[in-house]
Amino acid sequence: MPLIESEPKGRWTHLRFQIDNETKQDLLLYCKFTTSTPDWVIRGALKLLFKSDPEFMPWREQQKLATVEIIKAEAAKLGQSAASSSLNSVGAVAKTQDPQKR
């Protein structure tokens, strides 16, 4: 019985990598065994790896929290930057208008 589930439909992103010939042959044989695509087998193998590594999941969660904090800080910077740039562009428009139209 295969260890990797059947392939669901969904959105995917592309990734390009190289593997050795022996691994490629095993991949293709496993695809034949499971009647799955190489993409699906690789995704399943990576998910299995991620779930089975006891140190990865806690580290991953720390990275997610750190990323959220970075995103919040960047959003705050962009918000301040956008507000000041909006004020600057309003001032620039007022300066470039024809004095007779004011």
Selected residue with higher pLDDT from 17 and 100: 17
Task: List Cα–Cα distances, 67 to 61, 74, 93, in angstroms.
Answer: 10, 10, 38
Give me 4's structure tokens. Answer: 């990797």
pLDDT tens digit sequence for 72-102: 888 888 877 655 555 555 555 445 555 555 4
Give 28-56 pLDDT, tens digit per residue. 999 999 999 999 899 999 999 999 999 99
